[in-house]
Structure 1
Amino acid sequence: MPLSFPQPIADYFAADTTDGVAVAKCFTPDAVVLDEKKTYTGHDAIAAWKAAASVQYDYVAEPVAIENQDDRVIVTAHLTGNFPGSPVDLRYAFTLSGDAISRLEIVP
């Protein structure tokens, strides 16, 4: 059975296959992304984060599970690609604000 996501999260995973600008549009203007122990705040920083990751690595993220946890939506995705440790399962903890993502933390 396919997973069902809130629209901002579905938009994020669709945009993740394109570019940094498309990913940044999924977030509120003051959103925060935490990934690999670094913090990115705002559309410009989020777009640059995604663009840098796309230049450095080719990868595919396949969501395999979703759960609600307090005010967050946790998506587990199986990532495969040309990065150290591939393949790996990552947990994406999304906090939503209306029709956009206000916070995303990505951890193993």
Structure 2
Amino acid sequence: MNLPKVIAELVTSQNEFDSAAYADLFAENAQVSDEGKKHDGKAEIEKWIDKSKTDYKATMEPLNYDEKEDILSAKIAGSFPGSPLILKFHFKIADGKIQNLKVTG
């Protein structure tokens, strides 16, 4: 599967539980929507992924990438009810950084 560099790096940082590297892939004013909550800005995104890493120890296995829509389907496995789950990651990318990420079921 041919993933854009920033998405491939997101998968790697997720699987290595590297919250700082994960957050560095986002623009300063980026926004993430996940589990009904919004996380605004790089610092808040790092806190969100760090808490998620601690709480769920989730890993990501890419299954499909829709290049036209910038949507990654991935199997997420970790210490949460219903694991593993297939989730969709809807990206908006500009200048090599993630501007917006919405996670859906």
**TM-score normalised per structure 1:** 0.91
Percent sequence identity is 29
Aligned length: 104
Aligned residue identity for 1:79: I
**Stretches of 4+ aligned residues off by more than 3 angstroms:** none
**Structure 2 residue 91 is matched with structure 1 residue 107:** no
Hey, what's the Cα distance between the residues in 1 that align with 2:39 and 2:10? 16
What stretches of structure 2 of length at least 5 have no aligned partner?
none
Partner of 1:46: 45
Q: RMSD of aligned C-alpha atoms? A: 1.1
Following superposition, the deviation at residue 19 of structure 1 comes to: 2.2
List aligned pairs for 1:1-108, cutoff 5 A.
Answer: 3-17=1-15, 18-69=17-68, 72-108=69-105
SS in 2 for 1:96: strand
Question: Where does structure 1 lack aligned partners over 5 or more consecutive residues?
Answer: none
Instruction: Say which structure is richer in strand.
Output: 1
